[in-house]
Structure 1
Amino acid sequence: MRLEPRLSNFLDGGRWLFAFVVLIGHETPLFNRFSGMMITPQSATNYIWWFVSHFQFAHFAVIGFFVISGFLVGGNALTAILQEKSFLKSYLINRVTRIYVVLIPALLVTFTFDTLGRALFRKSFYENKLFDGHFGLNLIPPNLLNLQEIYSPFYGTSAPLWSLACEFWSYIVFPLLLLPLHRGLSWRAKAAAFTAGVALFAALCAPQTLFAFYFLIWVMGAVARVATRPLIGNYKLALAILIVSVVVTRLTVRGPALEAVPQLQQFVDVLNAFLFANVIVALRFDRSPFQEGRAAEINRKLADFSYSLYAVHNPVVFLGAGAIRGFAGEEWMPHDCPGSLQILSFACLTGLAVAFAYGFSRLTEARTEDARRALRALVDRVTATHGQRMADKMAVRETVS
């Protein structure tokens, strides 16, 4: 299903912006503790940095990723099922290649950079409690199976890949649960698919509720693809309400509020996911003229390597920050507020992470279609060979009888 140009541009912009916000959120604590924000006067740059780099914005970016993924991937699957189209083979090939063409090289990058960083800069950020027990090679197989933070810790400094596990298994569970709606299948096939979906969902939720929650967010995005009308039809008003909600969340859902009501975070996550999904639905139905210009082209190009940026930024920034701290000394990062040198170093490392992700994407993410063609050809060969063997067996049986 072809997307409206304005909606496509909005989703492209969201994809790269969310990846960049996550990068800033993960990189900032390595350069700025913000411990002096309320004690000593700060520059305007520091106040802006403090505001936009907060955990809540990075967290909303992940929520936004799930809504967009649900809309683009789950929405396509849902539409195909409702229209009784044959889609499962192509769907699975597309999803597997989309994930693994980046995941496998990303884990290799993590291994290489983390090994180098830990060898050269032992007294560095790698000693943080967050990474205790995360550098064992025994973690790579479960991470390759996308079980990180479900049945296994994430490997190395690749902490952001926890969300990839929830996303990948949402790809699998969602169509299995919905195949009973497909009128072109036999009742046995429907029962088998639904049973497998329920069993898989239960297995993924057994260790904790992480998968269940993010599966819900992902499904909200899928439903946005087939929703018959938005709750708020004016997309500009819908977007303004979303922005206000996210900013209010940034300022209020923290510290004492979360300690008093731990469930508050999940409540605002669902609310913001719903508001974001409503913006997408409003854009689906918007018919006002839209001229694709330079901005749309830039958004598309940046979105093309947003997955790569999300997947590899952590090992890059940890190695870079470790090198800076290793050469500049333990006290290089001030306790009150950063100076111009710290801000410049932060900006340079940010640019380096983006540049590395772009180069990485040219070798991985940009080759997704090639990987899909190769896997499709392999599946076709295996299927043809299996079919020929079955035909030969049937012919032998008929000859004997």
Structure 2
Amino acid sequence: MKQDERYIWLDLVRGLSAILVCAGHLRAVALVDYAELTAPTLFQKLLYGLTGLGHEAVMVFFVLSGMFVGGSVLKAGDRFSWAAYGTTRLTRLWGVLLPALVLTYLIDSYTLSAHPEVAQGEYAPLWTSGPRTDGSYSTSLVTFLGNLGFVQTIGVPTFGTNSPLWSLANEFWYYVLFPLGTLLLGISGKPAGLGRRLLAGGAIAALAYGLPRGIWLGYLIWLLGVLVYRIQPRFSTRRRWIALLVTLGLFGASLGYSKSLRLQEGLGVSSDLVVGLAFATLCLVLAKWPRPRIPILGPALEKIAIAAADLSYSLYTIHFPVVLLIATHFYLPQKCFPDLPAVLQYLGFLSLLLGIGAAFWYLCERHTPRIRRALIGKRLSVSGRAVGPTS
């Protein structure tokens, strides 16, 4: 997508969300849990608050993905092509996922050569993430192929230590479900006869039976992004500062709700759905927000936003095996108290992870458009842009 066609503020949110996921996983293995701090300073409260939003950031990804990927299906209308759409989505996914799985295997082999107990989940209580004690760790060929086929968490575990790959299965099946639904309703693609609509309905019914409940909850959040796409062109930009403050407040309140087990138990409403709905309202405002026009600072911010967004998928897909490699070599047998030296070390490792993500993007993801053009050329009829962990 050309730079002048991009939603710069949503790009910035997308990039920051990927960094928050990465930062949260690293903090969980490097610094002691917040409950162990007897008198946390304001800085420590901010540090732990920001790095505790990784899961919520994935819900943000889902909304953005629904807006752009689902929106591209609606935009194509009767020009929608399953061949072009499928090639676009799979080249985007596999172009990063395949080398990420190979690199995960190599990193895990090195990590486990020194600390085989990681695979048995010995440190799962310490890290609150990583391989569990249920024996689900696997780098078998079946698991490798299952992750390539996006049935992790459905038929096979996530590959090796790369547990964040769970969300890629969600995204893939949303990419399948939505066009099937639009075909059934006659919204996209050439007018379909009764037979094709019945086939689409049967496929949706089969997926309804086979996909876990958690994937369907995430699909509701993804569909909120599609709703944003439909509403956004007609959304008024008048009094935009008031709209921004109100929607930021709602989003902040939703994040607070996601951290309050008492409220969730009392209301019985999924925190994921609340966060997704609140961000969808904020997304409406940010999609209409003017580009930064401050001399020097404005163009610099745009470049940063685009760069962060572009490497978000690569960073998301490869960071976690590296996090556990860092954990086993620097933070065993215990994590650090978040004093100044420990925080500086943490920030150094976070910078290293961002650099690895950028290098992985340069070696792998940046070639995706070239691969796609080689497969379908200029016949592509559906936008290749995806926003979320899978872009």
Pairwise TM-score range, normalised by the shorter structure:
0.7 to 0.9
CA distance in 2, matches of 1:237, 1:15: 23
* Cα distance change of structure 1 residues 256 and 213 upon mapping to structure 2, 3 Å threshold: closer
* Cα distance change of structure 1 residues 70 and 296 upon mapping to structure 2, 3 Å threshold: same
Structure 1 residue identity aligned to 2:123:
N
Q: 2:70 aligns with which of 67, 70, 74?
A: 74
Whether 2:305 is the aligned partner of 1:299: answer: yes
User: Which stretches in structure 2 are left out of the alignment for 5+ residues?
Assistant: 125-129, 381-391
Q: 1:101 aligns with which of 95, 102, 126?
A: 95
**Is the 1:16–1:302 Cα contact (8 Å) retained in structure 2?**
yes
CA distance in 2, matches of 1:38, 1:91: 50
Output one character per residue of 1:323-364: Cα deviation in whole Å (capped at 9) or x when no partner. Answer: 113xxx524x24xx3333322221121111111111011121
* Cα distance change of structure 1 residues 25 and 245 upon mapping to structure 2, 3 Å threshold: farther
* Cα distance change of structure 1 residues 252 and 376 upon mapping to structure 2, 3 Å threshold: closer
Q: 2:249 aligns with which of 244, 249, 252?
A: 244
Match in the other structure for 1:397: none
Structure 2 residue identity aligned to 1:343:
V
Q: What displacement does 1:161 show? A: 1.0
Structure 1 residue identity aligned to 2:300:
R
Match in the other structure for 1:91: 85
CA distance in 2, matches of 1:330, 1:284: 46
Output one character per residue of 1:250-297: Cα deviation in whole Å (capped at 9) or x when no partner. Answer: 445446516734843x1x4323322322333345556x6754622111
Q: What displacement does 1:231 show? A: 8.5
Match in the other structure for 1:14: 13
DSSP 3-state at the match of 1:103: helix
Q: What displacement does 1:373 show? A: 2.1
CA distance in 2, matches of 1:259, 1:222: 26
Match in the other structure for 1:26: 25
Match in the other structure for 2:226: 222
TM-score by length of 1: 0.81
Output one character per residue of 1:156-178: Cα deviation in whole Å (capped at 9) or x when no partner. Answer: 22111111111111111111111
- Which residues in structure 2 correspond to 1:174-193 (within 5 Å)? 174-179=178-183, 180-182=186-188, 184-188=190-194, 190-193=196-199
**Is the 2:22–2:316 Cα contact (8 Å) retained in structure 1?**
yes
User: Which stretches in structure 1 are left out of the alignment for 5+ residues?
Assistant: 381-401
Whether 2:197 is the aligned partner of 1:170: answer: no
Whether 2:273 is the aligned partner of 1:270: answer: yes
Match in the other structure for 1:347: 347
**Is the 1:70–1:221 Cα contact (8 Å) retained in structure 2?**
yes
Structure 1 residue identity aligned to 2:28:
P
CA distance in 2, matches of 1:197, 1:106: 30
Whether 2:158 is the aligned partner of 1:159: answer: no
**Is the 2:111–2:325 Cα contact (8 Å) retained in structure 1?**
yes
Q: Which moved more, 1:18-27 or 1:228-237?
A: 228-237
CA distance in 1, matches of 2:343, 2:292: 38
CA distance in 1, matches of 2:118, 2:192: 59
TM-score by length of 2: 0.82
Output one character per residue of 1:128-167: Cα deviation in whole Å (capped at 9) or x when no partner. Answer: 3451322241322211111111232212221111111111
Match in the other structure for 2:50: 52
CA RMSD across the alignment: 2.9
Match in the other structure for 2:122: 127
Q: 1:142 aligns with which of 139, 146, 149?
A: 146
CA distance in 1, matches of 2:97, 2:238: 38
Match in the other structure for 1:257: 262
Structure 2 residue identity aligned to 1:312:
I
Structure 2 residue identity aligned to 1:72:
F
Structure 1 residue identity aligned to 2:22:
L
DSSP 3-state at the match of 1:313: helix
* Cα distance change of structure 1 residues 298 and 187 upon mapping to structure 2, 3 Å threshold: same
DSSP 3-state at the match of 1:348: helix
Match in the other structure for 1:393: none
CA distance in 1, matches of 2:92, 2:229: 20
Structure 2 residue identity aligned to 1:49:
L
Output one character per residue of 1:176-213: Cα deviation in whole Å (capped at 9) or x when no partner. Answer: 111123473231464155225413431443xx211111
Match in the other structure for 1:321: 327
CA distance in 2, matches of 1:150, 1:283: 35
**Is the 2:8–2:291 Cα contact (8 Å) retained in structure 1?**
no
CA distance in 1, matches of 2:261, 2:64: 31
DSSP 3-state at the match of 2:7: helix
CA distance in 1, matches of 2:111, 2:240: 46
CA distance in 2, matches of 1:353, 1:203: 39
CA distance in 2, matches of 1:340, 1:319: 23
CA distance in 2, matches of 1:35, 1:283: 32
**Is the 1:220–1:274 Cα contact (8 Å) retained in structure 2?**
yes
